[in-house]
Structure 1
Amino acid sequence: MTKNYVTLIFLSCFSIFLHSTALAQSATGTIKGAVIDSATNKPIDFMTVALKRDNAVIKSVVVNNTGSFSFEKMAPGHYTVTAIAIGYNVKNIPVVLNPANGPADLGNILIASQSNNLKEVSVTADRPLIKQEIDRISYDIQADPESKGLTVLDMMRKVPLLSLDADDNIKLKGSGNYKILINGKPSTMVARSPKDVLRSMPASSILRIEVITTPPAKYDSEGLSGIINIITSKKIDNGYNGSLNLRYQGPIGGPGMGGFVTVKQGKFGMTAYGGTGFFSSPETESSTTRTTTGGLPTNLLSTGFRKFNNNYRYGGTELSYEIDTLNLITIELNPYGGYNKSHTRQLFSLFDGTQQIGYNQIGTNRFGWNGFDATLNYQLGFKGHKDRLLTFSYKNGNSGNPQENGLSFINRQNFTDPDYNQKNNSRTKEQTLQLDYIHPLAKFTIEGGIKGILRTNKSNFEYESLDPVTGQFQTDPTRTNKFNNDQDVIGAYNSYAYNLKDWGFKAGVRAEGTFVKADFISSGSNVNTNYFNLIPTLSVNRKFKDMSSLNFGYTQRIERPGIDNLNPFVDRSNPNFLSTGNPDLKAVLSNNFDLTYSKFKKGSVNIGLSYRFANNTIQQVSVYNETDQITRSTYYNIGKDKALTTNLNVNYPITEKWNATLGGNIGYMWLQGSIDGQITKNDGLTGYLYINTGYKFEHGWKANASFNYNAAQIQLQGQNSSYVFSSFSGSKEIIKDKLTLSAGINNPFAKFRYYTNFTEGSNFTQNYRSQNFYRAYNVSLNWRFGKLKDSIKKNQRGIDNSDVKKSSTSGS
């Protein structure tokens, strides 16, 4: 079967090669010209020129230092040349190419600057896929043909600096410590496990994804590796615009739907998005082995079987009203909810040299989440200085994560623990007040603001064991407690941006005070911690005449422990492996350095080098207790981290219809920590490789293929396995620019993926191996509707609570 797949792919690639060769050998011509600023009569830096045929972009280039461009080896016919750049009006020029008459020379094309000085040109079909700015890299989702058939989580594999590990957890430069924002603002729906909601969100509802490597001072200082900003906002004039996406994935996955709609009528505007999706799996197998040493050596073998059913529902709406040209009010509402349900069977055996201990365990587990965020923004402009803005914002958020586990035991052998249930109802309530001011001058832009966050985390955990006499479950007060954690953050920032012809500078500082109070209500104890941080940030950009630029960034970042890291609730869903949080955790400070070289000419090239180091980092530690023969895992501030990483992203149009992308990074990580008084060290290579190619056929047909390799992840006490991911997809525009049908297959050469994780301590070694369905097919239908005119006016500043360590918990 594998041989047939390889033969089919080889023949497909060979046919594409023959088709491209035939095109190259037919009669062709050249379209050329130069783009000039109409006011200064000088070339325009980073001007993108796109070539369209039948309203579809078939090729794009960036002008050289003289403003010149050319499209060579083009077939005869009617074309449209579109010139776009930040701060300039878009210009469309019709062209008729006849090679017999020589090149189609458009001469000097004069472009006028926009009177409103917009920071971004909104011509989504013509923008390049990747854009490098002074402190971030952005990926234009709408310019990628696969966006009509994939989810946002799928698209994360294609964004520079981002990758997915073997469990589909998102990594930024190989690290899981980052913050995710939605439209520049925090959202509790992606705070716990972002992969669950992004797996349910169609990529067609997303405008772009920004990777902010050096976050400016206006952003909260949380997220050691940086910030991922997902932009969903759509800009239109009076009228409406939207899309609807229906999809199905099997055998692992399920149905899903999502979409967005934007409406503008006079001074009122509305943008709304939402969806739901299921992600389920038939039963799969896993195993755990553990070997211990010491006075009483043991050998443990556990074989488990698990099936799960997950659901996620999300939504968001933004309502805006322009009171007049200087006053704007917006309201944002974001409800969400979902659950992870799983059923497990486990066969357990432990031999300690004197006796055999064994049982069969049956478990039912449910982890839910729900929440609602509401935000009010008021923006004030100033007469004669409309670029000066004062913004007041208030946000109220409420989220919950109820968890229930029920375990029963049969076929017992020297095992006396009772059947038991455990419940943990955790909630987070948050209120935020923020005031921001921006003051542009001739070449300077000054920003400043203050912010206060009042955050309350609560957890009510209960343990019930079965009374063999009454047959009823009784609460065990020694394993039951109520935990409250109040975390208040007060911050202020000031930043400056200065732009010259070839240089750009951004610098700022952010001061943050954090006040933490943790109470164990049932036991009457508490933990109080206060700390203050002064966070600098610096970004420098240098532009060169060959359409390239060099960026340098430095910043400090903070990792504050979240409720999942602090909560002392003990998860006993596996009696021999217990896990819990640590309410004594402290914040972590990291130093980050980034250097990036970018070049945009025929295609784009991004090469980067980054280095970060941090002390007192939060590490998950596993310790084996010989007395009760249990491995316990929790979190401690014991680590020292260093990582040196280089990354590469190349996007190149091989022909006018065939495009290829190569991306990835390779780095070296050093970890060190003290466990039970002993220094533990680990280091090694990490990284990933991504290759994608796409081809545009006639009559609206498109095809894509991609390949990923992810190296093993280094951990303080071990590492997990590497893995390979591949996908092939195609799409057809049934109704041009309206209705698109897409289908694809992931990992056609492997039915299952086997994930392994190795952990070792001073007196034990432990190996975990799980089986997951890997081969999957998907099909989707995407419908775009509406008529575009103007843009909805939106607040340019808003609340961004990027200040809490996210959990890596997931339901799949």
Structure 2
Amino acid sequence: MKTLIFLICCICFNFVAKSQTNPPLQISGKIIDSSANKAITYASILLKNDKKVQLKSVVTGKDGSFSLTGLSTGNYLLAIVYVGYQTKVVPVALGTTSIVLNNISLMATPTQLKGVTVTADRPLIKQEIDRISYDVKADPESKVNNVLEMMRKVPMLSVDGDENIQLQGNSNYKILINGRPSGMMERNPKDILKSMPASSIERIEVITTPPAKYDGEGLAGIINIITFKKADNGTNGTINVSERFPVGGPGIGGSFTLKSGKFGIATNAGGNLNSTPLLNNSNLRNTLGANETKLWQTGNKDFSGKSGYIGTELSFEIDSLNLISAQFNYNANDNESLSNQYSTLNNLNQVLHTYELRNNLAGSGNGVDAALNYQLGFKKDKNRLLTFSYRYYKFTNDQFNNVGIFNQVINPSPNNPTPEALKDYQQQNSGGSSEQTVQIDYVLPIKKLTIEAGVKAIFRDNNSNFEYLSLNSSGDYILDPLRTNIFDNTQNVYGIYNTYQFNIKKWGVKAGVRAEQTEIDAVFTSSNLNRSSLNLIPSISVNRKFKDMSSINFGFTSRIQRPGINQLNPFVDRSNPNFESSGNPDLKPMKGHSIEVNYSRFKKASLNIGFRALHGTGIIMPSVVTDPVTQITRTSYANTGSATLIGLNVNINYPFSSKLRGVLGAMANYGIVKAEINGVDLDKQGLMRRAFTSLTYRPSKTWQATASVNYNGPNLSIQGTSNSFVFSSFSLNKDLFDNKLTLSFAANNAFNKYRKAINYTNGPNFIQESYNQNYQRNFTTSLNYRFGKLKDSIKKNKKGINNNDVSEGSSL
């Protein structure tokens, strides 16, 4: 693999040398008003070749001057465009020297353009060859909701009662920002998405058949969040300030884009404070068999936290063939909570153990990633590209629990004559991950065929340092070496891919294959784990368009999913003495295959219907086992078995009139899971469903009201299920100052103050019900301001690093 990378690098640098042989030329000049003989500022200058294909564009300065650099010899067309003036086209023959065009005059049009009113609504859903795109900007509730709330509306996505995102009922996916991995989404995505105002993003893409250029991981697919669109010379941005009460808190976020000549910058940033009052929770567990017991725990918990993020993309166009871009992302959070709990354990004859617990939890973390990309174009074809990319990424999560035990009473039983008394204890875990990635991509267009190829290497290090300290008789906290450990896991992934894309009349095809070699080395508890594997990952997407504005898509792909640090970390969380949870360093990657068919039609009513079947083996799922001796329920992860998911997704967008529009979405997935838990074969199957509907009424250009209802049915796992819930929302928007300022108000779940989140779990010798009370009702006020005006698109590398390959959770 190293030899292959070296050879490709040599070939690529040979391309670089050849492309720089001839010195670049330029076309410059000045644009003036034909009658007043005054300079025209900010006129658009479009440069096209003799085939009328646009190559470059700039705008004139304050003195009306412009300059187009980095050109080669040839025949060009220079188009000058300015509102209120007739467009002028000037043919230019560029020889061996640069050309200066003095005083190109524009003539004013007889009728001035006063304004254009667009009466047609933008479609919310767009079907592409390998993905579905949801236009967040076209949704009026984007001005008052955060991104996590908007995801409830996106086809194939759902958000459960604990605010976990699922793609077609599956939590094995990857979230990208602008097509690239981001530290904001890889450490704790739901906290960032809750703090990110939806007004700061453009759209959300769901890629269910990722092409071979993407990493092979992510069984369900990819969620791609586009934070900005192509920008023009000048500045543009949004600022959103909100307050959520009685729970939640203030938040601020926004985006800013600037382009000046060859330099461009696009930034997204935000943060929020979040708090909840005391909320109730409980656990009820019954063990079965010869010695039946009943554990009852009840308590309450409050929470307060803060989080923030910033992401920046920079680009500098050296000339028409050379482009440098860079990305930088940073996020951080800090939270704390206080929980109280009363616990009692009894058998059929007596109370065995009672105690009260108080837990002070403090958690924090941060993530940072930075990338640098160099893109080389070629003179004969601007779409032929060679890209070199490097990315560094690191995140850490820290957790500290200070647990106190009060009013403890122990009654020995014949089955447990010497039970161990609980002592005050502390536990802390510092875990994280870092990685470096290098990548080379090459794009070669040949008429209607586009060939892409590339090589990539990821060097990832997962680590954890955890300690357990118990209080001794002298009042000191003493380290327990049996519950303390240092864990280190390295994953090196080497990949190479080749894809082909072409369009023939009404047909479009994307096909390719990717090969990935994975090498894993883990060290913990004085033992080593070494493993390597080679995976071939094919993918194909076919699109057929019809005359009635409809299309049908077919897709097939094979995917894998490597376990992440949260699943690998052997740290045992003992914050609740009767329930322990940990990772499993011995996990293996999951494998899966999916096939899908989608039909779309965009006329007066927009219609999307999709069918998908997914089959996976070696699925990573939680394994829950209760020890009848210690009465401790332990949760870990295991490659427990296989899973099959068959799903149907429907979305309809219909305008009843020019003022009233309705949206209806529904998704149903039938899941079948077979696994072995604690030596017992389990077979679980059932239907998972969700539905969404909304009505938007716009009585005038500046007023808009929307009401929506979201239903989430039970979520299934191999050992249990959860309850269903309903989420409702009503929002009102008022646009001011020519739509630059929007005042918004939203009432979420106004009819229900609390939501009951109940999870049912069962095993070979126990049944369990866990209940958490969530504060559901909240009201939000929001102020959204848009500013700036842009005219020429920011350039960014068409290729970059996409590490969409790590799982941090798994469920059907």
TM-score band, normalised by the shorter chain?
0.7 to 0.9
Contact 1:330 1:376 in 2 (8 A): yes
Residue 185 of structure 1 aligns to a residue in which SS? Answer: coil
In the alignment, residue 385 of structure 1 is paired with which amino acid? D
Deviation string 1:269-298 (CA, Å, 9 cap, x unpaired) is 111110101221100101110111223211
Report the aligned-residue RMSD. 1.9
Matches within 5 A, 1:749-768: 749-768=751-770
In the alignment, residue 241 of structure 2 is paired with which amino acid? L
Stretch moving more, 693-702 or 481-490: 693-702
- Tell me, yes or no, if structure 1 residue 165 matches structure 2 residue 197: no
Instruction: Please report how far the alpha carbon of residue 130 of structure 1 lies from its aligned counterpart in structure 2 after TM superposition.
Output: 1.4
Matches within 5 A, 1:718-737: 718-737=720-739
Match of residue 779, structure 1, among 778, 781, 784 = 781
Contact 1:247 1:779 in 2 (8 A): yes
Match of residue 368, structure 1, among 355, 364, 375 = 364
Residue 552 of structure 1 aligns to a residue in which SS? Answer: strand
1:193 and 1:524 mapped to 2: Cα distance? 30
Match of residue 485, structure 1, among 486, 489, 492 = 489
Equivalent pairs counted in the alignment come to: 690
Matches within 5 A, 1:243-258: 243-258=238-253
Contact 1:192 1:808 in 2 (8 A): no
Match of residue 267, structure 1, among 243, 259, 262 = 262
Stretch moving more, 186-195 or 751-760: 186-195
1:736 and 1:356 mapped to 2: Cα distance? 71
Using structure 1 for the length normalisation, give the TM-score: 0.83
- Tell me, yes or no, if structure 1 residue 377 matches structure 2 residue 373: yes
Match of residue 297, structure 2, among 299, 302, 307 = 302
> Any stretches of 5+ residues in structure 2 without a counterpart?
1-78, 90-117, 411-419
Contact 1:179 1:223 in 2 (8 A): yes
Instruction: Please report how far the alpha carbon of residue 340 of structure 1 lies from its aligned counterpart in structure 2 after TM superposition.
Output: 3.0
Instruction: Please report how far the alpha carbon of residue 782 of structure 1 lies from its aligned counterpart in structure 2 after TM superposition.
Output: 0.4
Match of residue 527, structure 1, among 523, 526, 529 = 529
Aligned to 2:416: none
2:425 and 2:498 mapped to 1: Cα distance? 54
1:370 and 1:273 mapped to 2: Cα distance? 17
- Tell me, yes or no, if structure 1 residue 200 matches structure 2 residue 195: yes
Match of residue 444, structure 2, among 439, 455, 471 = 439
- Tell me, yes or no, if structure 1 residue 396 matches structure 2 residue 392: yes
In the alignment, residue 360 of structure 2 is paired with which amino acid? T
Contact 2:620 2:810 in 1 (8 A): no
2:262 and 2:724 mapped to 1: Cα distance? 53
In the alignment, residue 680 of structure 1 is paired with which amino acid? L
Deviation string 1:683-730 (CA, Å, 9 cap, x unpaired) is 111010000110112250100000111110011011010111110000
Aligned to 2:581: 579
Contact 1:329 1:377 in 2 (8 A): yes
1:398 and 1:179 mapped to 2: Cα distance? 17
1:518 and 1:647 mapped to 2: Cα distance? 41
Contact 1:363 1:408 in 2 (8 A): yes
Deviation string 1:133-164 (CA, Å, 9 cap, x unpaired) is 00001111112222111111111111111111
Matches within 5 A, 1:383-532: 383-414=379-410, 416-468=421-473, 470-520=474-524, 523-532=525-534
Instruction: Please report how far the alpha carbon of residue 808 of structure 1 lies from its aligned counterpart in structure 2 after TM superposition.
Output: 7.6
In the alignment, residue 635 of structure 1 is paired with which amino acid? Y
Instruction: Please report how far the alpha carbon of residue 125 of structure 1 lies from its aligned counterpart in structure 2 after TM superposition.
Output: 9.4
Using structure 2 for the length normalisation, give the TM-score: 0.83
In the alignment, residue 462 of structure 2 is paired with which amino acid? N
> Any stretches of 5+ residues in structure 1 without a counterpart?
1-88, 95-111, 113-122
1:577 and 1:480 mapped to 2: Cα distance? 18
Instruction: Please report how far the alpha carbon of residue 195 of structure 1 lies from its aligned counterpart in structure 2 after TM superposition.
Output: 1.2
2:626 and 2:723 mapped to 1: Cα distance? 23
Deviation string 1:101-149 (CA, Å, 9 cap, x unpaired) is xxxxxxxxxxx9xxxxxxxxxx999742211100001111112222111
Instruction: Please report how far the alpha carbon of residue 207 of structure 1 lies from its aligned counterpart in structure 2 after TM superposition.
Output: 1.1
Aligned to 1:237: 232
In the alignment, residue 547 of structure 2 is paired with which amino acid? K
**Identity %, equivalent residues:** 51
- Tell me, yes or no, if structure 1 residue 634 matches structure 2 residue 636: yes
Contact 1:686 1:711 in 2 (8 A): yes
Contact 1:234 1:271 in 2 (8 A): no
Instruction: Please report how far the alpha carbon of residue 167 of structure 1 lies from its aligned counterpart in structure 2 after TM superposition.
Output: 1.4
In the alignment, residue 424 of structure 1 is paired with which amino acid? N
Match of residue 186, structure 2, among 187, 191, 195 = 191
1:667 and 1:143 mapped to 2: Cα distance? 28
Deviation string 1:53-92 (CA, Å, 9 cap, x unpaired) is xxxxxxxxxxxxxxxxxxxxxxxxxxxxxxxxxxxx9x99
2:590 and 2:243 mapped to 1: Cα distance? 42
Aligned to 1:115: none
Contact 2:187 2:367 in 1 (8 A): no
Deviation string 1:628-650 (CA, Å, 9 cap, x unpaired) is 11000101111210111000001
Residue 163 of structure 2 aligns to a residue in which SS? Answer: coil
Deviation string 1:503-553 (CA, Å, 9 cap, x unpaired) is 111110000010000001xx3211111111000001111111221111000
In the alignment, residue 645 of structure 2 is paired with which amino acid? A
1:419 and 1:712 mapped to 2: Cα distance? 38
Instruction: Please report how far the alpha carbon of residue 376 of structure 1 lies from its aligned counterpart in structure 2 after TM superposition.
Output: 0.2
Contact 2:392 2:436 in 1 (8 A): yes
Instruction: Please report how far the alpha carbon of residue 93 of structure 1 lies from its aligned counterpart in structure 2 after TM superposition.
Output: 14
Instruction: Please report how far the alpha carbon of residue 384 of structure 1 lies from its aligned counterpart in structure 2 after TM superposition.
Output: 1.6
Residue 133 of structure 2 aligns to a residue in which SS? Answer: strand
Deviation string 1:249-284 (CA, Å, 9 cap, x unpaired) is 112211100011111111111111101012211001
Residue 802 of structure 2 aligns to a residue in which SS? Answer: coil
Match of residue 716, structure 2, among 686, 706, 714 = 714
Matches within 5 A, 1:620-659: 620-659=622-661
Contact 2:187 2:395 in 1 (8 A): no
